[in-house]
Structure formats: structure tokens, C-alpha cells
Amino acid sequence: MTRDDFDYAIENTQVILAPERQIATFGSTSFKFYLISELMDRVDHVRIRNGKIHAERPQIFTPEHYCRLLLEGFGEKAERYVDQLRERARNIAVLRYGFQFRKTDLSEQTVPDSIDAVINRTKRRVEGADEPLSAIIRGVDDAWEVCLLKFTIDMVERSAGSNFGDLRKRGLL
């Protein structure tokens, strides 16, 4: 995959229907996805991939933890430098999100129809089945995994603010 292919996939990823909930702060969250893409070599043929993305509970990544990782295998001078880093960054915390994309949950089908008709049909089905943790994503067929990763990163960005807020309320930050 070239850089242009990658950029094209990112630019052409569109979330048609986002999950109603965000990534849970104090537990794991599973999102079902339907990634819909046009086949490039067959007119009016669309591929529907569906599966699950599992987001583990976000973990607090503090400067103390980070500094301990930096010190593995280093000596006293490195320890002094890390002490300086620790002092400068003592009020910084980062949330680490763990994701697993399980291809065992993946299925796909190709249907002879327009992409708009397939998207509308899938959206009606998901809304009718009351699947609040489902997403419908329009993407690029050859780079569909890039489209899925873009969706995942967007979910992290959407969830991070409320996750930090939840952790602050509990006195964990």
C-alpha cells in the first residue's frame, strides 16, 4: 500500500452511523461494525464486512509508570534524568486504550446493488434491531482495515474526555 492509498482510505472513511455509547471508562466495550465498500473492479457490487472491535478498559499511564519503563537497564545518570522528567510532568496523565481486532468475528458478503441502497438497508436493519453499540462505516475496499482503524482512533478521541472526567471524579487522576 502506498502513502497515497493510505491517505485516500483515511479521507474516504465516513461514519454513517456511530455507536450510541462511547468507550467505557471502567470496563471493556465491544462495538459491532459494518464496513461497506464498493468493489473497484465490478460496477454496482458492494462488499459488506462485519465483525467486532473490542476495547479494553482504558488504563492510566502516569509519568511515574512511564519513568519506570524508561529506566529498565539504565544506570544512575539515566535515573537522574528521569527524575527531572518526573518533576516536570508530574501533573500529566495519559489514557492507554487497548484494542483487539478479532478477524475470527469477521464475515463478509458481496451483493449486487448500489452502495447507497446497501447503506440504507443496513442502517434500517441496525436501527430496527436496536444495536446501540453498532457502527456503519463507508470505506475503501482495498484498504478497509485502514478505514476501520480510523474509526477506532476517532472512537478513542470521542471517548477520552469523558473517560478523563470519570477518572477525576473517582480521584484517580
Per residue in 26-36, pLDDT (tens digit) is: 877 788 999 99
> What is the predicted pLDDT for the residue at 95?
58
Look up residue 141 and give its three cell numbers: 475496499
Packed helices 3-11 and 144-169: angle between N→C axes, nearest 10 degrees: 60
| Residue 20 binned pLDDT confidence (cut-offs 50, 70, 90) | confident
Residue pair 160/95 in contact (Cβ under 8 Å)? The answer is yes
* Count of Cβ atoms closer than 10 Å to residue 152 Cβ: 19
140 neighbors 37 (Cβ within 8 angstroms): yes
CA nearest to 123, candidates 136, 104, 142, 105: 136
Write the pLDDT tens digit of every residue in 119-170. Answer: 999 999 999 998 888 999 999 999 888 888 888 888 877 877 777 777 778 7
User: pTM of the full predicted structure?
Assistant: 0.73
Range 15-24 burial, b when 16+ CB lie within 10 A, else e: bebbbeebbb
pLDDT digits (tens, 9 = 90+) for 52-109: 888 776 666 666 665 555 555 666 666 666 666 666 655 555 556 665 554 557 889 9
